[in-house]
């Protein structure tokens, strides 16, 4: 396997009771994550970013389930595995050791009843056996790596003693302590103020280099993607609508949805200009319009867009887009 992770045909079903058919919250998701790559997933709220990544960690629970046709191949240290089809026990060995995740709200991910030291040590001891002093040293070392001042004292603190930025550093320490091959960061800076946000992104970039870890960065903010990622997939209503290397995406944007997301970022900071936002809202799962799922919000909507779903196709080498504007005229006629 050339890549670290190869997701194919990923679909997540939502069970809606015996009387209603299940709906697909995401479908046809194909992603390749290379070794040491920083890969971004961007899209508005409800597009399916988090559930897609939760499925990598085996964290989907009822009423959600992975469609049996999905596959998520991962180059683990024990060999290639399909995360969509391994046992719960096997997944527990991989989760936290080879694949880790950090979340938007560190306060809810940490246990208020335990010190920072015991929470870092728990992550460490789950995947190996260490003496008390070895575990203490490893925890201290890790806090220093994530640039926490007074690390010795912080180890003895409880989560509520720390600021949001410090807690997120602790979460990064916990996520990296077992030197995972893949780190999934789900909106890791959204809850932080702008200065702290920039520090955390810098820190993650630095650590990725020194740990050789691949990162999947989930965000609704293309600014964050621009600062941290090499390649990006744009999600809309449970599908990938555009995917490209970062420079290509910014300079040769192909999908009208991505153009809208970019306009909302670039209008930030422009004085005397109203903030731009894409009109309308992401459709609720199960109520997707026919044809292109973006058609009722798109300024370029054509007749075909209302009835036929465009495929995700290459518009230039390595640049994929799901839009009739870029697909053959014969089909549109
Ligand atoms: N446990 C659940 N039960 C029912 N629907 C769910 C559940 N979890 C997620 N969904 C639905 O799946 C869709 C995708 O959710 P997801 O959390 O992945 O979105 P997201 O892109 O991460 O959004 P956000 O930016 O708000 O985090 C949404 O329509 C959401 O309502
Ligand atoms: S397929 Fe049509 S409606 Fe969809 S984004 Fe392209 S132009 Fe807009
Ligand atoms: Mg989310």
Dump the DSSP string for 115-136: -HHHHHHHHHHTTS---HHHHH
> How many Å lie between the centroid of ligand 3 and the Cα of residue 240?
15
Helix-then-strand count for the chain, H and E = 13, 13
Query: pLDDT band at residue 195, thresholds of 50, 70 and 90?
Result: confident
Dist. CA 74–CA 6, nearest whole Å: 7
Give the architecture-level CATH label for domain 5-98+178-332. Answer: 3-Layer(aba) Sandwich (3.40)
Q: Is the pLDDT score of 6 beyond 90? A: yes
Q: Please state at what angle helix 164-176 crosses helix 116-125, rounded to 10 degrees.
A: 20
Residue 306 has a pLDDT of 96
For ligand 1, is residue 25 a contact (CB within 6 Å)? yes
For ligand 1, is residue 76 a contact (CB within 6 Å)? no
Query: pLDDT band at residue 333, thresholds of 50, 70 and 90?
Result: very low
Dist. CA 288–CA 255, nearest whole Å: 18
Count CA within 13 A, CB hemisphere, residue 68: 0
Residue 153 has a pLDDT of 96
Query: pLDDT band at residue 267, thresholds of 50, 70 and 90?
Result: low
121-154 pLDDT per residue, tens: 998 877 778 888 999 999 999 999 999 999 999 9
Phi, psi (degrees; rounded to nearest 5) at 218: -100, 130
| Mean pLDDT value of segment 67-77 | 96
For ligand 1, is residue 29 a contact (CB within 6 Å)? no
| In the chain, where the domains are located | 5-98+178-332, 110-177
> How many Å lie between the centroid of ligand 2 and the Cα of residue 245?
21
Q: Is the pLDDT score of 332 beyond 80? A: no
Dist. CA 208–CA 32, nearest whole Å: 18
196-213 pLDDT per residue, tens: 888 889 988 888 888 889
**Other CB atoms closer than 10 Å to residue 196's CB: what's the count?**
17
Residue to substitute in 42, 50, 108, 191 for testing ligand 1 pocket (most ligand atoms within 8 angstroms of CB): 50
Residue 107 has a pLDDT of 82
For ligand 2, is residue 256 a contact (CB within 6 Å)? yes
Query: pLDDT band at residue 250, thresholds of 50, 70 and 90?
Result: very high
Task: Tell me which residue has its CA closest to atom 6 in ligand 2.
Answer: 323
Which ligand lies nearest to the CA atom of residue 257 in the structure? 2
For ligand 1, is residue 14 a contact (CB within 6 Å)? yes
Which ligand lies nearest to the CA atom of residue 25 in the structure? 1
271-327 pLDDT per residue, tens: 667 777 888 988 888 788 899 999 999 999 999 999 999 999 999 999 999 999 999
- 204 exposure class (CB count in 10 Å sphere: 0-12, 13-18, 19+): buried
163-190 pLDDT per residue, tens: 999 999 999 999 999 999 999 999 998 8
Dist. CA 150–CA 302, nearest whole Å: 60
Say if residue 98 is preceded by a cis peptide, omega within 30 of 0.
no
Poorest-pLDDT segment among 103-112, 196-205, 261-270, 308-317: 261-270
For ligand 1, is residue 46 a contact (CB within 6 Å)? yes
């Amino acid at each position: 396997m050339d890549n670290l992770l190869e997701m194919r045909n990923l679909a997540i079903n939502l069970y809606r009771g015996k009387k209603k058919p299940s709906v697909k919250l995401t479908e046809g998701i194909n992603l390749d994550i290379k070794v040491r790559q920083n890969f971004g997933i961007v899209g508005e709220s409800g597009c399916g970013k988090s559930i897609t990544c939760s499925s990598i960690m085996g964290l989907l629970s009822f009423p959600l389930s992975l469609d049996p046709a999905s596959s998520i191949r991962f180059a683990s240290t024990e060999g290639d595995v399909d995360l969509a089809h391994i046992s719960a026990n096997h997944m527990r060995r991989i989760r936290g050791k080879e694949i880790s995740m950090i979340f938007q709200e560190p306060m809810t991910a940490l246990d208020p009843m335990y010190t920072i030291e015991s929470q870092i040590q728990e992550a460490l001891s789950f995947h190996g056996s260490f003496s008390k002093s070895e575990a203490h040293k490893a925890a201290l070392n890790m806090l220093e790596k994530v640039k926490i001042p007074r690390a010795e004292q912080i180890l003895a603190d409880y989560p509520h003693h720390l600021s949001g930025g410090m807690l997120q550093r602790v979460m990064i320490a916990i996520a990296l302590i077992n030197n995972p091959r893949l780190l999934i960061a789900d909106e890791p800076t959204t809850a932080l103020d702008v200065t702290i946000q920039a520090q955390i992104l810098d820190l993650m970039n630095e650590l990725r280099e020194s740990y050789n870890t691949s990162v999947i960065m989930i965000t609704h903010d293309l600014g964050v993607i621009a600062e941290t990622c090499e390649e990006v997939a744009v999600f809309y209503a449970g599908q990938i609508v555009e995917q490209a290397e970062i420079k290509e995406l910014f300079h040769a944007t192909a999908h009208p949805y991505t153009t809208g997301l970019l306009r909302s970022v670039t209008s930030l900071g422009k004085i005397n200009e109203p903030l731009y936002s894409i009109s309308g809202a992401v459709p609720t799962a199960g109520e997707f319009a026919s044809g292109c799922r973006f058609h009722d919000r798109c300024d370029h909507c054509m007749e075909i867009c209302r009835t036929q779903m465009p495929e995700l196709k290459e518009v230039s080498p390595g640049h994929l887009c799901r839009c009739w504007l870029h697909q053959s005229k014969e089909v549109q006629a």
